[in-house]
Amino acid sequence: MQSLSKLTEDEELFKQEIAKFSQSVIKPHVEEMDEKEQLKPEIIKQCFEMGLMGIEIPDQFGGANGSFFMSCLAIEEIARVDPAVSVFVDVQNTLVNNIFKRWATDAQKEKYFPRLAASDVGAFCLTEPNSGSDAFALQTKAEDKGSHWLLNGKKIFITNANEANIYIVFANIAPEKGYKGITAFLVEKSFPGFAVGKKEKKLGIRASSTCEVTLEGVEVPKENVIGQEGVGYKIAIETLNEGRIGIAAQMLGLARGAFEGAFQYAGERSQFGKPINKFQGVQFQIAELACQVEVIRLLVYNAARMKDQGLPFTKEAAMAKHLSSEIAEKVASASLEIYGGYGFIKEFPAEKFYRDAKIGKLYEGTSNLQLQTIFKLLEKER
C-alpha cells in the first residue's frame, strides 16, 4: 500500500514547478506587496498563466484537470514563500471552483469555468456582521421577482473581493424557514447595485484583499442559482469542509517556510565562536520543530487524499485545519526566536511568517469549531 505522504512522479514534478514559480516570480515582490497591502497585477496574471487558478477545472474548459491534492500541493508551496498569495490561490480552487465543479449546471460551467481558468478571480461570500461562527444566521435576503431574484444585504471579511469578478453569494429566500431558505447565487461585479466596500487593514496576509461587499437591489438572473433553491447551507458546509484542508495546506507551507529559514540561519549565525546550530539546546529545538512540521504534513496529505478518493473526510479535515494552525503559529514563533533580534525586523522573513500565521486559527472555522466538529464525529463513531 502506497504511503499517503508519498508523491507520484507527476505530483512531485508539479510541486517542483510551483516551488520554482514561487521562488522566481513571487518571492522578489513579497515585501513590497505586504507593505502596499495589495497583490501585484502581474502576479495575478502569472498565476493564471501558470494554471494555478483552475487546477481542478476540466481541460475542456481550459483548466489543468488536476486533483484536489494537487491544489493543496500548490497552496503549500506558495505559502512557503508568501501565505497571502497562497490564500488568493486557495480560495479560487478549494472554494469557488469546487462549488462550480460539484453544484453548477452544465450551462453555468460552460459560461464561467473558462473565465475562472483564464482570467476571472472568484470570491466566496458567506460571512456577515452578525454571522461569523454562526454563519447561517445571515441576513442577506433574496426576493423572487418572477423574472429575476432581487438581493439585498452586506457581507464582510470577503477574501479576494477586490480582485474578483465572480462572487458566490449566500442569501435567504425564505427567512421564516431559517437555514433551509439559504440559497447560493452567482453574482458578477458588473451587476448594478453590487459594490466592493472597505478593504480591511490586517495583522497578516496583508497583500490578500479582505473587504466588505454590499448588495443593494441587485438583480440576479434566475439561471444564476447554484444547486437548488434552499440547499445553500449544504453547499456552504460541504465546501468549507473541503476548504479547511486548503487552509491546513497553507499553514503547512507557512510552517515549512518559517522553519527552513530558521534552519539555514542557525548555521550562519555565530555566537561564542561557533554557529548556534552547534549548541545542543538549539539542535533540540530545531529537531522538535521538524517533527511538528512533519506531523501536519501527514495530516494534510491524508485529508486531501481521502477527499480525492471519495472517502468521508470531515473529521480529518477538521483535525488537519486545527492542528496545522496551532503548529504553524508555534513554529513561526520559535523560528523567529532562532533569528534573535533580527527576527523582529522586516529585513528577515521570520516576522512576516509570524504575523501571517495567526489567521489560521480564525478563518474558515475557528479552532474551537474544529474541535467541536471533531468531538461530534468521534461520538458518532463510538
Say if residue 236's pLDDT is above 50.
yes
Give the helix/strand (H/E) hosting 184. strand 182-188
Fold match flag (9-121 vs 123-230)? no
Give the pLDDT confidence score for residue 137 in this predicted structure: 85
Instruction: List the beta bridge partners of residue 210.
Output: 159
**183 touches 154 (CB < 8 A):** no
- Residue 379: C-alpha distances to residues 241, 315, 372, 373, 376 (Å): 18, 11, 11, 10, 5
Is residue 255 a contact partner of residue 354, using CB atoms and an 8 Å limit? no
Task: Return the C-alpha torsion angle 324, 329, 332, 333, nearest 10.
Answer: -150
Would the pLDDT of 2 be above 80?
no
Q: What is the pLDDT of residue 96?
A: 98
pLDDT at residue 130 greater than cutoff 90: no
Assigned C-alpha cell, 150: 432581487
Residue 132 has pLDDT above 90, yes or no: no
For residue range 51-70, what is the model confidence (pLDDT) as tens digits? 999 999 999 999 999 999 99
Lowest-pLDDT range of 122-136, 268-282, 353-367: 122-136
310 secondary structure, DSSP code? T
pLDDT value of residue 301: 98
Q: Which residue has the cell 473565465?
A: 115
Grid coordinates given for 88: 488568493
| pLDDT for residue 4 | 56
pLDDT of residue 52: 98
Record: fold of 233-381: Butyryl-CoA Dehydrogenase, subunit A; domain 3 (1.20.140)
For residues 227 and 233, give the distance between their C-alpha atoms in angstroms, rounded to a whole number.
11
Cell 463510538 -> residue? 382
Mean pLDDT of 11-16: 96
Percent of the chain with pLDDT over 90: 95
CB count in 10 Å sphere of residue 212: 18
Give 1's pLDDT tier (boundaries 50, 70, 90).
very low
Digit-coded pLDDT (tens) for 94-114: 999 999 999 999 999 999 999
Q: Is-catalytic flag, 17?
A: no
- The mean of the pLDDT values for the chain is 96
SS (H, E, C) the chain: CCCCCCCCHHHHHHHHHHHHHHHHHHHHHHHHHHHHCCCCHHHHHHHHHCCCCCCCCCHHHCCCCCCHHHHHHHHHHHHCCCHHHHHHHHHHHHHHHHHHHHHCCHHHHHHHHHHHHHCCEEEEECCECCECCCHHHCCCEEEECCCEEEEEEEEEEEECCCCEEEEEEEEECCHHHHHHHEEEEEEECCCCCEEEEEECCCCCCCCCCEEEEEEEEEEEEHHHEECCCCCHHHHHHHHHHHHHHHHHHHHHHHHHHHHHHHHHHHHHCEECCEEHHHCHHHHHHHHHHHHHHHHHHHHHHHHHHHHHCCCCCHHHHHHHHHHHHHHHHHHHHHHHHHCHHHHHCCCCCHHHHHHHHHHHHCCCCCHHHHHHHHHHHHHHHC
Q: What is the architecture of the domain spanning 9-121? A: Orthogonal Bundle (1.10)
Partners of 159 in the beta sheet?
210
- pLDDT above 60 (res 3): no
Q: Which three cell numbers stand for residue 329?
A: 503559529
- % of the chain surpassing 70 pLDDT: 98
- CB count in 10 Å sphere of residue 230: 17
What are 286-343's pLDDT values in tens digits? 999 999 999 999 999 999 999 999 999 999 999 999 999 999 999 999 999 999 999 9
| 2.40.110.10, 3.30.1360.120, 1.10.230.10, 3.40.50.150: CATH of 123-230 | 2.40.110.10
Domain edges within the chain: 9-121, 123-230, 233-381
pLDDT of residue 134: 79
Average the pLDDT over 235-249 and give the result: 96
- Given 337, 364, 379, 381, the catalytic residue: 364
